[in-house]
């Protein structure tokens, strides 16, 4: 099937599009296949189970361990709670995720694509379902070519139903990250869940169904931008799946043919000794993207290493050393061709490029941990009312107004006292009081996990500088060390 | 370029003719599904403009088959919002204005509602920050011509000041001492001198001493012997630092000569009772609001403030 140049037939029949060539990879077993199984189980388990983990935060906060609470604008992750004004933590996590991919890619190539990418994981799962329903590679091709009949319809319907179930479970799990999972689950089944929940499930179900079931490698090759970026992150010392053509070429045809060629006693000087590749095409048959790795590195290869498993099996059978196809670097490949010993893997991993990426990644992580560990769960903002700026009172004093925001990020209601520094004889009162009740400090109770917004008035004698720097300070009554402050001004002129 | 096509030997694909560092671009066709996706988006685009308002016509744009309009959306949203606020507005309608501060949640709601009503109805005279202009009182300060507690502010808002034809409107008029020929130039100058001494802007002089005698006869009945004014008459306090028309000699002279007073419309005629209450709460919250002075019989205080006679306790008000 791969004898034809890739695009020729379509080119001749139709100028405008290329029909997708269906890929039905053969089942294979081997060390990399088993690694893929483990990663699939672990990642899927994390995805499906996480929303159901509980985490006790007291009576004023949800008890879901990981929760993106859009309505109340909170992000909970185990013991960490993120407020909207702390969104830089989330930004930091996203940056770390990106740089983490840089680290991995520069060290071990497209490992993300081959093992952990959701597109890969779900496609893999869908392929297993397909094999379970339709049978092995040969049967799949036969069934695909067969005309529609009762048997084909039955098999297709079974397969699609199974796919759809997986897809619904996938889309369904996603919404649980955004609401209390047990409650939402009950609402979903009783039909009372919010519209957005059903809509999100529908969209994610359809994308999973179509991407995992039908588009598969087309997503990787045509839609995903990541392979193009990865190319720039890799160099001659990054690991990639490579066919060692110096060992494999020239190919022979089957085991017998190889033996026969040796027996023919041809002129050894005119012919290269036969290579290890017996051109059995096992590596092509198992490839989920349907490419021939022997053509060299290419964008279609997601480095899933299934071809390594396949070829190793063949090599074991014909009694040749394994790893005719293997993980190696371009540099090692050059050394091996020259008959030298490849560098130790550790030396390949620890090189300036990977170390710099790692240092940046770890630096951001440590900085975030440090800030997170030292962050205060109390915050004050003081915004001066500028229209009007300064008001003359009947006794000649000057009054300024401020809008104070107190953020109590603890999971309990707290009493706070707000004071002002930087101005003598300051009198403070709120917009719900009169000046007769003015004091030097104002007490507020702020409910658990919320922001209190209050207007404060500050009066002081007219004599003094036109503009003084002042500082509003908030202190918790139950813990004097819990304090925060916000600088602003007191203006004696201006309107 | 289109004439002689070059074919890439290994793949059999046509070349585009571009080359960078030995890397050539091939004219690989799009996948079929992608081509169909493109067609589908075109169909979608056309259908969308038929379903929703889009095509410009002579009078207006096409209505769209679904009958959707952004104005309709807005109306629905406004109705829903009104529905949401109903419990609060009903509670405000029922509670007498002076009891509003007892429920801080309700008070906050009233202040915020008043803030937006102010922006629509009051900024024209009192300014967007309520700082006023000469002749239009500054609502942020603590000087009140007719009283600064919630009831007094509410009464002013409800019935206005000097509104013709409104019997309950607050009313007073200062005589135009010069124009009416009550005082002559020198006398008026003397009175001005005295007022400036009273407010602590000048120190006593012969003129101010002469002015004091005139003040005692002509002015003290309204502004008080000590000049602190009279709120029942809307007579300003002349001893403080706040001047509605200016406290300099020239402004004071003109005030005595011609008499100056403003007119405020009664908002009870134009706005619903809840909005008027919310406006009073907002104005009261601007920093100069005074505490209600309890009268002898506090149950009779509330005469003209609301339409619902039975006061509602906090418990009866639905949470919202
Ligand atoms: S599986 Fe190995 S031996 Fe078989 S074709 Fe591929 S490279 Fe050659
Ligand atoms: S060529 Fe090998 S490593 Fe690459 S995608 Fe195919 S099977 Fe996976």
Predicted pLDDT at A433: 83
For residues B6 and B29, give the distance between their C-alpha atoms in angstroms, rounded to a whole number. Answer: 15
Whether the CB of A302 sits within 6 Å of ligand 2: yes
- C-alpha A451 – ligand 1 centre gap (Å): 66
Provide the Cα torsion B247, B253, B257, B258; round to 10°: -40
| Closest C-alpha to A87, from A97, A96, A77, A74 | A74
Model confidence pLDDT, tens digit, residues A72-125: 899 999 888 999 888 889 899 999 999 999 999 999 899 999 999 999 999 999
Contacts of A46 (CB under 8 A, 6+ apart): none
Contacts of A435 in chain B (CB under 8 A): 142, 287-288
From the list B28, B128, B141, which residue is nearest A391 (CB)? B141
Q: What pLDDT was estimated at residue B31? A: 84
The answer to whether residues A396 and A460 touch, using CB atoms and an 8 Å cutoff, is no
Residue ranges with strand state E in A390-482: 391-392, 398-408, 414-421, 427-430, 441-446, 450-460, 467-476
Residue A403 has a CB neighbour count (10 Å cut-off) of 14
Q: Ligand 2: which of A26, A293, A309 to mutate, judged by most atoms within 8 Å of the beta carbon?
A: A293
A483-491 and A427-430 as β-strands: parallel, antiparallel, unpaired?
unpaired
Binned at pLDDT 50, 70 and 90, residue A228 comes out as confident
**What angle, 0 to 180 degrees and rounded to 10, lies between the N-to-C axes of helices A226-233 and A88-108?**
60
Ligand nearest to the CA of A290: 2
Q: Whose CA is nearest to atom 7 of ligand 2?
A: A287
Confidence label for B316 from pLDDT (cuts 50, 70 and 90): very low
Model confidence pLDDT, tens digit, residues A279-310: 889 999 999 999 999 988 888 899 999 999 99
Q: Are strands A378-384 and A398-408 parallel, antiparallel or unpaired?
A: antiparallel
Which pLDDT tens digit goes with each residue over B207-233? 999 999 999 999 999 999 999 999 999
* SS3 of B73-118: HHHHHHHHHHHHHHHHHHHHHHCCHHHHHHCHHHHHHHHHHHHHHH
Instruction: Give me the pLDDT at residue A241, please.
Output: 93
ipTM of the complex: 0.75
How close is the Cα of A158 to the center of ligand 2, in Å?
29
Angle subtended by helix axes A181-190 and A150-175, to nearest 10: 140
Q: Distance between CA atoms of B56 and B43, rounded to whole angstroms? A: 19
Q: What is the pLDDT of residue B293?
A: 74
Is there a contact between B12 and A8 if contact means CB atoms under 8 Å apart?
Answer: yes
Per-residue confidence at B17, pLDDT binned at 50, 70, 90? confident
Nearest to B142 among A11, A18, A394 (CB): A394
Rg (CA), chain B: 35
pLDDT per residue as tens digits for the range A415-454:
999 999 999 889 999 988 888 889 999 999 999 989 999 9
The answer to whether the CB of A293 is under 6 A from ligand 2 is yes
**Residue of B28, B34, B141 lying closest to A393 (CB–CB):** B141
* Beta-bridge partner residues of B26: B15
Q: Does domain A378-491 have CATH number 2.40.30.170?
A: no
- Following DSSP, what letter does each residue of A54-96 receive, concatenated? B----TTS--BSEEEETTTTEEEETTEEE-GGGTHHHHHHHHH
Residue ranges of domains in chain A: 31-89+97-225, 240-354, 378-491
Give CA separation, A161 vs A45, A185, A246, A294, A478, in Å.
Answer: 22, 22, 47, 37, 60
């Amino acid at each position: 099937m791969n004898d034809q140049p890739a695009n020729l037939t379509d080119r001749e029949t139709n100028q405008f599009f290329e029909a997708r060539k269906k890929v039905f990879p053969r089942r294979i077993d081997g060390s990399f296949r088993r690694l893929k199984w483990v990663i699939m189980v672990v990642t899927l388990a994390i995805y499906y189970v996480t929303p159901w983990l509980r985490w006790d935060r007291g009576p004023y906060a949800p008890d879901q361990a990981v929760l993106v609470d859009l309505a109340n604008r909170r992000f909970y992750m185990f013991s960490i709670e993120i407020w909207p004004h702390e969104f830089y933590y989330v930004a930091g996590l996203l940056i770390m995720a990106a740089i983490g991919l840089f680290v991995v890619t520069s060290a071990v190539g497209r490992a993300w694509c081959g093992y952990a990418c959701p597109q890969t994981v779900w496609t893999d799962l869908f392929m297993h379902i397909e094999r379970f329903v339709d049978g092995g590679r040969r049967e799949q091709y036969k069934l695909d070519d067969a005309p529609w009949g009762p048997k084909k319809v039955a098999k297709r319907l079974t397969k699609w139903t199974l796919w759809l179930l997986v897809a619904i479970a996938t889309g369904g799990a996603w919404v649980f990250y955004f609401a209390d999972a047990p409650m939402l689950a009950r609402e979903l089944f009783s039909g009372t869940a919010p519209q957005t929940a059903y809509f999100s499930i529908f969209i994610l179900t359809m994308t999973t169904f179509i991407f995992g079931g039908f588009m598969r490698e087309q997503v990787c090759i045509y839609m995903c931008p990541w392979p193009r970026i990865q190319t720039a992150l890799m160099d001659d010392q990054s690991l990639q799946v490579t066919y060692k053509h110096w060992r494999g070429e020239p190919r022979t045809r089957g085991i017998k043919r190889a033996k026969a060629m040796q027996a023919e006693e041809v002129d050894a000087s005119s012919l290269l000794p036969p290579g290890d590749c017996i051109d059995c095409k096992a590596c092509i048959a198992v490839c989920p993207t349907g490419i021939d790795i022997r053509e060299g590195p290419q964008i279609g290869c997601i480095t899933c290493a299934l071809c390594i498993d396949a070829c190793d099996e063949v090599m074991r059978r014909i009694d040749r050393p394994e790893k005719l196809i293997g993980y190696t670097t371009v540099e090692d490949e050059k050394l091996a061709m020259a008959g030298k010993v490849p560098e130790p893997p550790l030396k390949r991993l620890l090189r300036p490029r990977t170390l710099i990426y790692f240092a940046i990644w770890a630096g951001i992580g440590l900085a975030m941990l440090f800030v997170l560990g030292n962050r205060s769960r109390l915050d004050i903002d003081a915004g001066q009312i500028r229209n009007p700026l300064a008001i003359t009172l009947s006794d000649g004093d000057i009054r300024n107004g401020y809008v104070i925001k107190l953020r109590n990020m603890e999971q309990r209601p707290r009493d706070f006292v707000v004071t002002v520094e930087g101005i003598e004889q300051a009198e403070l009162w709120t917009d719900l009081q009169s000046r007769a009740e003015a004091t030097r400090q104002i007490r507020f109770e702020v409910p658990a996990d919320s922001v209190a917004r209050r207007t404060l008035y500050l009066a002081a004698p007219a004599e003094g500088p036109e503009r003084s720097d002042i500082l509003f300070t908030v202190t918790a009554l139950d813990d004097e060390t819990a304090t925060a402050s916000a600088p602003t001004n007191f203006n004696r002129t201006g309107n | 370029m289109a004439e002689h096509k070059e074919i890439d030997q290994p793949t059999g694909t046509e070349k585009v003719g571009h080359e960078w560092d030995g890397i050539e671009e091939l004219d690989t066709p799009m996948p079929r599904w992608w081509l169909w996706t493109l067609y589908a988006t075109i169909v979608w685009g056309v259908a969308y403009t038929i379903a929703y308002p889009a095509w410009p016509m002579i009078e207006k744009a096409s209505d769209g088959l679904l009958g959707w309009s952004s104005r309709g959306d807005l109306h629905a949203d406004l109705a829903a919002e009104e529905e949401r606020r109903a419990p609060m507005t009903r509670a405000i309608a029922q509670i007498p204005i002076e009891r509003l501060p007892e429920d801080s949640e309700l008070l906050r709601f009233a202040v915020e509602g008043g803030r937006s009503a102010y922006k629509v109805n009051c900024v024209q005279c009192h300014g967007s920050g309520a700082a006023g202009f000469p002749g239009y009182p500054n609502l942020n300060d603590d000087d009140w011509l007719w009283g600064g507690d919630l009831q007094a502010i509410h009464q002013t808002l409800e019935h206005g000041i000097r509104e013709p034809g409104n019997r309950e409107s607050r009313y007073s008029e200062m005589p135009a001492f010069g124009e009416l020929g009550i005082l002559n130039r020198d006398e008026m100058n003397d009175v001005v001198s005295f007022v400036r001494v009273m407010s602590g802007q000048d120190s006593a002089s012969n003129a101010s001493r002469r002015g004091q005698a005139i003040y005692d006869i002509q002015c003290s009945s309204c502004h008080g012997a000590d000049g602190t004014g009279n709120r029942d008459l809307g007579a300003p306090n002349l001893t403080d630092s706040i001047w509605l028309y200016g406290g300099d000699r020239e402004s004071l002279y003109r005030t005595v000569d011609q008499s100056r007073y403003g007119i405020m419309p009664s908002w009870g005629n134009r706005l619903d009772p809840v909005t008027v209450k919310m406006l009073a709460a907002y104005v009261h919250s601007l920093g100069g609001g005074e505490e209600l002075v309890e009268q002898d019989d506090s149950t009779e205080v509330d005469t003209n403030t609301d339409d619902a006679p039975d006061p509602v306790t906090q418990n009866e008000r639905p949470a919202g």
